[in-house]
């Protein structure tokens, strides 16, 4: 059951990154793709009907983490208290910037909303990427499974790191470029005209940067945590994951340069999903590695709730999943298709 719930949490986190990732990416590049009020409204309308639904996956993953692996939830939320509060404020700022924009009574307030929305959308991928970098690098867990991390120390990973060091910042940059590229492909898929052309240019640029950053992050990860490849050596079938990463990058580049918007977006989804799958495969059965004594690392068994609770929850989870899947199917079918600057049907103007 612990492996089953580990996989479910991983799947929900992948779903969050894939769905809300393009929202964040659109916000991150909004300043560069939209140059007039009508174009900025078009960008907002492209994600307006779906962005808050996409965040359901983050809430769901947090809820499942709470009951399935309570020790991990307790350790990570206390140890990462400061960065988690910063993420919370960024999520709130992004939501307010997007939702209040249509109620702005003057241009100054409207520009402020646009700036807040863009800034929060830029910073959130960096924080999420740095968070994943912290998990892969490890944290200084004590004998009771607790830890505290300052925002930074000497900017070097080691036995007593900070939340930010050169490795976690690199992970943040990879996440930002990946989600900005993902958002560009989505925006190209959803829009026409000048916004479409600029989004396609950014998407093509991302296909040049991502292979370099992916290889750099792999080299940095093996340097910071040499044991990260052990699971791939023990189970060679896991090598299919980096193969999917490479194929996704190649397909994304080819599709972006040929103007095949759907294929480029689908390849971006494959890239994000396979990168996260690779991280989960490399870590299992560890949920939170210790940067000091490896024996103190939190594993799925150490952090898991009781087996009875997991079995009962396994009966209800499919019901909730089917409801969410039905909602998403209806939502995305309703708001499918291209948008133009003259269309204000969804009200995000």
What is the average per-residue pLDDT within 276-281?
96
Residues 69-78: tens digit of each pLDDT = 999 988 888 8
What's the average model confidence in pLDDT over 95-114?
86
pLDDT at 104 over 80: no
Candidates 212, 206, 185, 211; CA nearest to 196 is 185
Tokens standing for residue 35:
């140059």
**What would the mean pLDDT of 13-17 be, rounded to a whole number?**
96
Helices (H) and strands (E) in the chain, counts: 14, 2
What's the pLDDT score for residue 214? Answer: 98
pLDDT at 101 over 90: no
pTM (two decimals): 0.94
Find the angle CA(86)-CA(87)-CA(93) to the nearest 5 degrees.
90
Assess whether pLDDT exceeds 50 at residue 346. no
pLDDT by residue (tens digit) across 18-32?
Answer: 999 999 999 999 999
pLDDT band at 167 (very low <50, low <70, confident <90, very high): very high
Stronger pLDDT, 318 or 264, i.e. the higher one: 264
Asked if pLDDT for residue 309 goes beyond 90, the answer is no
CA distance 232 to 238: 5
Rg (CA), the chain: 20
- Strands annotated E in 171-309: 286-288, 298-299
- The pLDDT value recorded for residue 342 is 67
Mean pLDDT over each residue of the chain, to the nearest integer: 92
- Beta-ladder partners of 298: 288
Return the closest-CA partner of residue 261 out of 171, 192, 319: 192
Residue where the block lists tokens 């402020």: 112
Does the structure show a pLDDT above 70 at 343? no
Residue 164 pairs in a beta bridge with 152
- For 98-197, strand residue ranges (E) read none
Residue 105's pLDDT is what?
72
Using pLDDT thresholds of 50, 70 and 90, give the confidence band for residue 103: confident
Q: Give 28-67 as a DSSP string.
A: HHHHHH--SHHHHHHHHHHHTTTHHHHTHHHHHHHHHHHH
Q: Who contacts 215 (Cβ-Cβ below 8 Å, separation ≥6)?
A: none
pLDDT for 176-202, tens place per residue?
Answer: 999 999 999 999 999 999 999 999 999
The pLDDT tens digits of the residues spanning 204-237 come to 999 999 999 999 999 999 999 999 999 999 999 9
For residue range 41-50, what is the model confidence (pLDDT) as tens digits? 999 999 999 9
Q: Which helix (H) or strand (E) holds 159?
A: none
**For residue 169, what is the DSSP state?**
H
> What pLDDT score was predicted for residue 348?
52
Class of residue 119 by CB neighbours under 10 A (exposed 0-12, middle 13-18, buried 19+): middle
Query: What are the residue ranges spanned by the domains of the chain?
Result: 2-334
CA distance 56 to 324: 9
Tell me which residue of 207, 175, 202 sits closest to 30, measured CA to CA.
202
Q: What pLDDT sits at residue 340?
A: 83
147: three-class secondary structure by DSSP: coil
């Amino acid at each position: 059951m612990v492996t089953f719930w580990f996989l479910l949490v991983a799947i929900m986190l992948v779903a969050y990154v894939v769905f809300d990732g393009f929202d964040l990416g659109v916000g991150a590049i909004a300043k560069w793709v939209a140059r007039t009020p009508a174009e900025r409204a078009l960008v907002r309308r492209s994600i307006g009907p779906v962005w808050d639904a996409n965040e359901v996956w983050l809430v769901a993953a947090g809820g499942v983490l709470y009951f399935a692996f309570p020790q991990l939830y307790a350790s990570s939320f206390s140890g990462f208290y400061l960065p988690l509060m910063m993420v919370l404020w960024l999520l709130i700022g992004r939501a307010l910037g997007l939702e209040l924009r249509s109620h702005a009574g003057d241009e100054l307030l409207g520009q402020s909303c646009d700036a807040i929305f863009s800034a929060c959308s830029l910073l959130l991928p960096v924080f999420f990427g740095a968070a994943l970098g912290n998990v892969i690098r490890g944290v200084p867990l004590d004998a009771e499974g607790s830890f505290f991390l300052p925002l930074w120390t000497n900017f070097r990973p080691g036995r007593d790191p900070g939340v930010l060091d050169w490795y976690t910042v690199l992970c943040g940059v990879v996440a930002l470029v990946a989600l900005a590229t993902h958002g560009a492909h989505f925006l190209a898929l959803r829009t026409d005209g000048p916004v479409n052309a600029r989004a396609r240019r950014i998407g093509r640029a991302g296909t040049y940067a991502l292979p370099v950053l992916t290889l750099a992050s792999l080299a940095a990860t093996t340097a910071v945590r040499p044991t990260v490849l052990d699971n791939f050596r023990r189970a060679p079938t896991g090598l299919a994951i980096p193969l999917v990463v490479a194929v996704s990058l190649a397909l994304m580049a080819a599709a972006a340069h040929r103007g095949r918007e759907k294929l480029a977006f689908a390849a971006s989804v494959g890239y994000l999903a396979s990168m996260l799958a690779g991280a989960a495969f490399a870590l299992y059965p560890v949920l939170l590695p210790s940067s000091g004594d490896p024996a103190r690392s939190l594993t799925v068994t150490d952090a898991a709730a009781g087996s009875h609770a997991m079995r009962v929850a396994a009966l209800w989870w499919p019901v909730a999943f089917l409801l969410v899947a039905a909602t998403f199917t209806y939502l995305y079918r309703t708001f499918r298709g291209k948008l133009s600057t003259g269309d204000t049907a969804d009200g995000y103007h």
